[in-house]
Structure formats: C-alpha cells, structure tokens
C-alpha cells in the first residue's frame, strides 16, 4: 500500500503508528525547500516531515535523493530556502547554537580524522555544549562520558589514539562523542557505511539500546534497505528530493517502492518477519 | 629558577583538580628544558659583546640586588622614567643586553602562539602568522613609512601592526562568502601576500638613501638589533593579553580541529570563534612584528617542533609553544649577534636558515605530516 506523497499530505498532519494511535513528533520540518548557497537548484522539496518522538526513524533512498541535505536542514547546518524546522514545537532559530546542541546532536557522514587525539579526549569534546568558555570538567561531564563510553562498548580503546583505530572502531568513538552530548534527539548520517558487518551491528545495537534505555529520538540515514526495514520503527523513503513514502516498515517497504526508487527487482516477504530479497537491477532505471 | 618550581607546583594541583590528565610528564620536562635553554642563552647574550665580561660577572650584574630591588630602576625600565645611577656593568647588562633578551622572549612566545592558532583556525599545517597576509601587509606599511612618510618613523611598530591587521581584514573579506573556509582563507592569504610583496618591491625603487634601505631590510627580515626597554614597554601588555586568551582558548581550538560541521553540531559558533581567535593571533603576531620585524619561518616551525614532542592537544601545544618559542628565539638571536664578529645578522636570517632545513627534516621523518 504505497501511498504517494500527494495523497498523504493532508492526513499526515497527525501521524499515526501501526495501530492508528497518534504519535508525537520530536522534529518537524514544514514546507521545506532546500538548496545550497552555491546553486539555485532545489535539492529537497518536501511538504512535511516528521521524526516521531522516542522512536528510531530510518531515512532511505538512493544516492543523491537528498537524505543528507534533509538531515542538514533538520540539524540547522543548512538554512532552508523556505519552510521551518521545529524541535519539540519550537523553531530551531529560537535556540542559540549551544542550547540547540544540548537538545539535538548530529553525527556527520564524513568526520575529519584527527590522528593524535585519544578516544577519551574525543568523547570529552561531546560535553562542549554543557561547558562554559572557562569552565573545567565537572562530575556531571565525567559521568556522561563514562556512560557514553560504556554504551558504545569502547572502554578498552579509551587511551588509544584515533589514528590507530580501524574504521569501525573510529565510528564507535565518534558515536560515543555524540552520546556524551546527552541530547533527546540524535541524527546520524550513514553511520554504518564502510563498516564491516560486525561493526555495523555494533553501531545499530548501540543506537537501539540508546533508544530503548533512554527514550532518545533517533533519525538515521541507512544505505541498506533490508537492514533499515528490520531495524527501524519508521521509514522515510526519499526519491529525487521528495518524500516518496513514510510509515512503519511493513507499510513502506513494497516491491513497488524498491522498483520505483531504487530501480531493483526484489521480493519482499512479510512473514515471519519483514525481509527484502533483492534480485537484480531494472533495465529502465531513470537516471 | 623559582618560576620552574611554581610550574611544577601548578601541575600537581591541576592533576588533583578534575580530569587534568593533559599535563603530562613529557610536557613538564619539555617546558623545563626550554626554560633552561632560555636562561643559558640569555646569560650568554648578556655576557658577551663589545663590553665583555665573564659569566660570573654577568651573573652578578643580572642578580645585582641594587638593581633587582630598586624601584626607581624598575620604573625607569618599565615606565621610562629617569635611570638611577649604577655601575657600568649594570648599565650594560640591564639597559642594553637584558632588554634585548626580554624582547626575544616576548617575540618568540607571541610568534609561536600565533602560528599555533593559525594552524588550528585554518586547519592547515602550513599556516603561519604570515600566510594570512599579516607579514606582507606589515612589511609594506613599514616600507611605505620609511620611504614615503619618513616623518612617521617613531610610530613604526604601530604602523607595522596596523598594516598587518589591514591585510588580514582584506584577506578575510576576500575569503568571506556567507562564511569562510580554511582553504579559501589560505588562498586569499597567498594572493594578498603576492600583491603586497610586489608593492614592497616597487617601493624599493623609490628609496634613494642606502640607510633607509638597510633599515627596511632589517625590518623585513626580522631583527632584534638595538631593541631595548622601549620595545619591552610596547609589547608586554598586548603580549600578555593575547597569550592569556590563546591559552584559555586552547579547548576551542581542539574542538575546531574536529572539523567545521562537528564543531557546529557541538554548539560552537564556528565563524565567530574563528574570527575572534584569528584576531588574537593577529594581535600576537603584531606584537612580535612591532618589536622584531618579520622573523621568517618562526611561527611556522615552532608549533611543529612542539607538536612533535608533546602531541597535538592544543592545551599542551599552547603551553609548550609558550616555553619553546622564547628558548628558540633567544638562542637564534645569540647566533645572530655573536656568530660573526664585528657585525650583527638579523635574527630572521638565522631562523630562516635553521628553520627551513629543520622543517624539511620533520617532513621526511614524519609520515603523517598531513595531519594536525
């Protein structure tokens, strides 16, 4: 039951979960049109996007469909050409940079790798928004860092310098840094890309745990649609800068969707659990 | 060495208070060694010269209680009041040679700190106070003053600082396009540098007096020849202010090094912090330029030496620079003053000659030079 965007625009004013119960949104993008300052081309055009409170939402879509751009707008890294973004009902602009960083943390896709900083020092940087210019580390900071390191499971790497870590360990260290920020909303841009399968699971399990134990709202861009389908509470499927569909994975993931936005032929099985079995690419793929 | 002890004391206090694990034994050792080098080089500088005395005579003159505890003498040094009567040795040491050492200390510390800041702000290990146009702007201002507006010569240090600041503002304006980026800053700096250097070379044609040309060259290569308490008085306050802010801002620099987007999502107003810290670095560089001219290579190399020894954490790096800068500049100045008998080299020649090869050596030795 793939709904098109136009059909659902109105009903999505109040979003519902699988049982038809209304869900609060932590983050709402309203009437967003996004473009980069260097060009006039509109990258993303979407009437409304909701990131439901206390749930894990996965953004999926092919390369260049505007997922990262959308995430940048949701995290105040990119000012929308039109439209507003609200967090817990208040527009992003009403927060100072530091206040916002206490509400919302973001992990970018590419992190410049600094060789000579230890994992622990990196995680302490996550406390930046909680500290004043001259303030030193408080007990609270210390505890937050301990919690973050434990949750990410990188206690044994503490004293290791970032340059000596593998890609997967590095990603866990960066995740620990945003965990130390202790925000209610966490946005992650492709945290599992380029990782081996073990570390992919470590990252996803950490995110899931964070969501279940602390009720943190999470939006995460994932490349692997079958992984996203199994992992997330909600999916947002994007195509060509527009919202293709939105909802729980069982509703969103269909063979039609896979053909439409990813250009692949695939079988989707719903029993015993949602499974995507990709078969081959479709020849008439739009470019 | 009372200073050294107080620093050792601070370390233990910081280790107790909270998570101050950044003060490592290596850093303390590095600072102590740097300080020892500064003291030895300073004593050599004080002892030798046309009015030669033995090391012990020099020591006695330096620690002469009649001067050390003489308020009139200090007010003469620091506020320019009339100098009380004292022995020839004391006058030579306290009024001619020691101030030069102090100027070296101040210029060394400010240049090193300034270079370290610029390398973090632009996230480019080739950055130095001078990449962002400061040096060529200051140099042009100095030349223009000497050649065209010779009446303004007494204000040369101020004019140099002003020229550096103007050039930096020009660079920042060119690089600004709804925000700046490290690459754009460096590119704009290189271009502004080229324009100002062409202007400098053009100005040399209008200088008809050989003396003027020599003064100008001394400025442009960086020299401590003839510096005295006047220079200390000019430099001391802005030096302390800029160094204090730089050390306090070390954590901001660390976060800035994580990358722009990360720094922003951690709640830093990146543009503002970058501009503010650049301004501090300009102030620090201007202090050095104002009293010592344009000492080449120094601001570039010293942060690398320190980083190589104590690591890339800016809290350590800043403190390290604070000690290593003076040690190296005072030592280089000893070479500049005493290496050739009869004539003094500009210290910038020495730092350039030693700094360049050392930088190359670092590059060859270190695989990961590309990372800050």
The DSSP-derived string for B87-135 is: -HHHIIIIIIIHHHHHHHHHHHHHHHHHHHHHHHHTT-TT--TTTTTHH
Provide the angle, in degrees to the nearest 10, between the axes of the packed helices B270-292 and B156-175: 150
Q: For residues A241 and B85, which has the higher predicted lDDT (pLDDT)? A: A241
Query: What is the rounded CA–CA span in Å between residue A32 and residue A70?
Result: 9
CB atoms B266 and A100 under 8 Å: no
Cβ-based neighbour number of residue A126 at 10 Å: 26
Q: Which has more pLDDT, B83 or A236?
A: A236
Show the tokens assigned to A32: 């967003």
The better pLDDT of the pair A116, A7 is held by A116
A272 CB contacts (<8 Å, ≥6 apart)?
none
Interacting residues of A170 by C-beta distance below 8 A, sequence separation 6+:
A111, A113, A162
CB distance B139 to B348 below 8 Å:
no
pLDDT greater than 80 at residue A26: yes
Nearest residue of B to residue A36, measured between CA atoms: B178
Sign (positive/negative) of CA torsion B178, B181, B185, B188? negative
- Mention every residue, 6+ apart, whose C-beta is less than 8 A from residue A74: A27, A29, A49, A51, A85, A187, A219
Q: Looking at beta carbons, which residues of chain B come within 8 Å of A119?
A: none
Interface test with A, best of B266, B274, B314 (most A CBs within 10 A): B266
Distance CA B236, CA B116 (A): 20
- Report whether A85 contacts A92 (CB < 8 A): yes
Q: How far apart are CA B351 and CA A204, in angstroms?
A: 53
Nearest CB to A98; choose among B178, B254, B267: B267
Contacts of A108 in chain B (CB under 8 A): 259, 261-262, 265
**Which of chain A's residues have a Cβ under 8 Å away from the Cβ of B258?**
111-112, 114, 122, 125
d(CA B307, CA B318): 10
B-chain residues within 8 Å CB-CB of A73? Answer: none
What is the value of ipTM here, to two decimals? Answer: 0.82
Cα dist. B79→B188, B233, B333 in Å?
41, 7, 25
| Cross-chain Cβ contact B265/A117 below 8 Å | no
Look up residue A131 and give its DSSP letter: S
For residue B250, the distance in angstroms to the closest alpha carbon of chain A comes to 10
Record the tokens describing residue A133, joined without a space: 């210019």
How high is the pLDDT of residue A112? 67
Residue B268 sits at the chain A interface (C-beta within 8 Å) = yes
Element (H, E) at A47: strand A44-52
Burial environment of residue A264 by CB neighbours within 10 A (0 to 12, 13 to 18, 19 or more): middle
Chain B residues closer than 8 Å to A165 by CB:
none
B34 and B108 Cβ atoms separated by less than 8 Å: no
Least confident of A73-87, A136-150, A248-262, A268-282: A268-282
Q: Does B13 touch chain A (CB under 8 A)?
A: no
Q: Which residues pair with A22 in a beta bridge?
A: A16
Q: Which pTM does this prediction carry?
A: 0.84
The strand pair at A90-91 and A44-52 is best described as unpaired
Alpha-carbon gap: B311 to the closest alpha carbon of chain A (Å): 7
Which chain B residue is nearest to residue A187, measuring alpha carbons?
B265
DSSP at A114: P
pLDDT number for residue B366:
66
pLDDT in tens, chain B (372 residues): 334 434 433 333 333 334 556 788 889 999 999 999 999 999 888 888 777 777 788 788 888 887 778 888 888 888 877 777 777 778 888 888 889 999 999 999 999 999 999 888 888 777 887 777 888 888 888 888 888 887 777 777 778 778 888 988 898 888 887 777 778 888 898 899 899 989 988 888 887 788 888 888 888 888 888 888 888 888 888 899 999 999 999 989 999 888 888 898 999 998 899 889 988 898 888 888 888 888 878 888 899 889 888 888 899 999 999 999 999 999 999 998 888 877 888 888 888 888 888 888 877 776 655 444
Q: Which residues of A touch B269 (CB under 8 A)?
A: 97
Q: How many helices (H) and strands (E) does chain B have?
A: 18, 0
Inter-chain touch A115–B17, beta carbons under 8 Å: no
* Of the partner residues A128, A134, A142, the one whose CB lies closest to the CB of residue B248: A134
Length of chain B: 372
Q: Is B15 on the interface with A (CB under 8 A)?
A: no
Q: What pLDDT, in 10s, does the model give residues A105-153?
A: 999 877 766 677 889 999 999 999 998 877 778 888 999 999 999 999 9
Residue of chain A with shortest Cα separation from B273: A133
Would you call A101 and B266 a contact, using CB atoms and an 8 Å cutoff?
Answer: yes
Q: Any CB–CB contact under 8 A between B370 and chain A?
A: no
Residue of A nearest to B266 (CA): A101
B259 inside 8 A of chain A by CB: yes
What residues of chain A lie within 8 A of the CB of B254, using their CB?
117, 121, 125
For every residue of B122-185, DSSP letters joined together read TT-TT--TTTTTHHHHHHHHHHHHHHT-GGGGGGHHHHHHHHHHHHHHHHHHHH-SSS--HHHH
pLDDT value at position A113?
A: 63
Query: Please, which residues have CB within 8 angstroms of residue A205's CB and are 6 or more apart in sequence?
Result: none
What pLDDT does B104 receive?
A: 94
Select from A35, A68, A114 the residue whose CB has the most chain B CBs within 10 Å, as the one to mutate to test that interface: A114
The whole-angstrom separation of Cα B45 and Cα A63 is: 66
Residue A48: phi, psi to the nearest 5?
Answer: -160, 140
On whether any CB of chain A is under 8 Å from the CB of B19, the answer is yes
* Helices B25-47 & B55-62 angle (0-180, nearest 10): 110
A137–B371 C-beta distance less than 8 A: no
Query: Which residues in chain A are closer than 8 Å to B261, comparing Cβ atoms?
Result: 77, 106, 108
Minimal CA separation from B315 to chain A, in Å: 12
pLDDT surpassing 50 at residue A252: yes
* Confidence tier at A180 by pLDDT (50, 70, 90): very high
Q: Which two tokens stand for residue B39?
A: 């003291």
Among chain A residues, CA nearest to B179: A37
In order of A3, A270, A277, A278, the CA distances from A255 in angstroms are: 13, 11, 10, 10
Q: Are A111 and B259 in contact (CB under 8 A)?
A: yes
The span from the CA of B318 to the CA of A35, in Å, is: 40
Q: State how far residue B177 is from chain A, nearest Cα, in angstroms.
A: 9
CB-CB: which of B20, B259, B266 is closest to A129?
B266
Cβ atoms of B280 and B334 closer than 8 Å: no
Q: Which residues does chain A have within 8 Å of residue B19's beta carbon, measured at their own beta carbons? A: 124, 137, 142
Are A114 and B257 a contacting pair at CB < 8 A? yes
**Helix%, strand%, coil% for chain B, nearest 5:** 75, 0, 25
Considering only CA atoms, which of B91, B213, B100 is closest in space to residue B150? B213
């Amino acid at each position: 039951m793939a709904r098109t965007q136009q059909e659902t625009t109105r009903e999505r004013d109040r979003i519902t979960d699988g049982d038809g119960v209304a869900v609060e949104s932590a983050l709402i993008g309203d009437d967003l049109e996004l473009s980069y300052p260097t060009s006039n081309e509109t990258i993303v055009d979407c009437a409304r996007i909701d990131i439901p409170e206390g749930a894990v939402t996965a953004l999926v879509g092919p390369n260049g469909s505007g997922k990262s751009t959308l995430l940048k707008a949701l995290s105040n890294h990119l000012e929308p050409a039109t439209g507003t973004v609200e967090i817990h009902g208040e527009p992003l602009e009403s927060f100072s940079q530091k206040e916002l960083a206490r509400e919302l943390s973001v992990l970018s896709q590419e992190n410049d790798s600094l060789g000579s900083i230890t994992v622990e020092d990196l995680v302490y940087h996550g406390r930046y928004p909680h500290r004043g210019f001259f303030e030193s580390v408080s007990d609270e900071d210390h505890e937050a860092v301990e919690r973050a390191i434990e949750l990410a499971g990188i206690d044994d790497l503490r004293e290791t310098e970032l340059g000596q870590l593998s890609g997967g360990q590095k990603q866990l260290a960066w995740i620990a840094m945003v965990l130390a920020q202790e925000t209610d909303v966490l946005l992650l841009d492709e945290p599992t890309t380029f990782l081996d399968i073990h570390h992919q699971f470590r990252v996803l399990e950490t995110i899931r745990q964070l969501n279940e134990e602390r009720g943190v709202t999470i939006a995460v861009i994932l490349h692997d649609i079958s992984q996203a389908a199994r992992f997330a509470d909600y999916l947002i499927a994007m195509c060509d800068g527009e919202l293709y569909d939105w909802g729980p994975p069982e509703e969103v993931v269909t063979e039609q969707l896979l053909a439409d936005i990813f250009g692949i032929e695939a079988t989707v099985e719903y029993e015993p659990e949602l499974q995507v079995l990709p078969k081959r690419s479709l020849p008439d793929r739009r470019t | 060495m009372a200073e050294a002890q107080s620093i050792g004391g601070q370390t233990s206090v910081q280790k107790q208070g909270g998570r101050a694990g950044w003060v490592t034994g290596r850093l303390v050792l590095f600072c102590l060694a740097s300080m020892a080098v500064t003291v030895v080089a300073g004593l050599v500088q004080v002892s030798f010269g046309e009015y030669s005395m033995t090391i012990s005579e020099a020591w006695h003159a330096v620690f002469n209680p009649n001067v050390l505890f003489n308020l009139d003498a200090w007010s003469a040094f620091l506020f320019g009041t009339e100098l009380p009567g004292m022995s020839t040795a004391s006058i030579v040491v306290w009024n001619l040679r020691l101030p030069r050492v102090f100027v070296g200390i101040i210029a060394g510390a400010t240049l090193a700190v300034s270079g370290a800041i610029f390398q973090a702000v632009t996230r480019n290990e080739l950055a130095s106070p001078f990449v962002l146009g400061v040096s060529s702007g200051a140099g042009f201002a100095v030349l223009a003053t000497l050649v065209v507006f010779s009446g303004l010569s007494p204000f040369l240090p101020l004019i140099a600082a002003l020229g550096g600041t103007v050039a930096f503002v020009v660079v920042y304006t060119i690089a600004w396009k709804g925000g700046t980026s490290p690459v754009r800053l460096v590119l704009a700096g290189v271009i502004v540098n080229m324009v100002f250097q062409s202007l400098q070379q053009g100005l040399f044609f209008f200088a008809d007096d050989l003396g003027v040309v020599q003064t100008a060259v001394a400025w442009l290569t960086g020299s401590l020849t003839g510096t005295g308490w006047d220079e200390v008085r000019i430099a001391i306050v802005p030096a302390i202010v800029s160094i204090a802010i730089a050390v306090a801002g070390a954590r901001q620099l660390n976060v800035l090094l994580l990358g722009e987007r990360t720094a922003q999502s951690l709640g830093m107003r990146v543009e503002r912090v970058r501009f503010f810290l650049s301004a501090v670095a300009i102030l620090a560089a201007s202090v050095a330029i104002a009293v010592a001219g344009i000492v080449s290579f120094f601001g570039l190399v010293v942060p690398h030496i320190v980083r190589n020894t104590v690591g890339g954490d800016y809290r350590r790096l800043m403190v390290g620079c604070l000690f290593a800068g003076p040690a190296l500049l005072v030592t280089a100045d000893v070479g500049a003053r005493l290496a050739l008998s009869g004539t003094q080299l500009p210290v910038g020649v020495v730092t350039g000659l030693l700094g360049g090869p050392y930088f190359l050596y670092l590059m060859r030795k270190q695989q990961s030079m590309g990372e800050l």
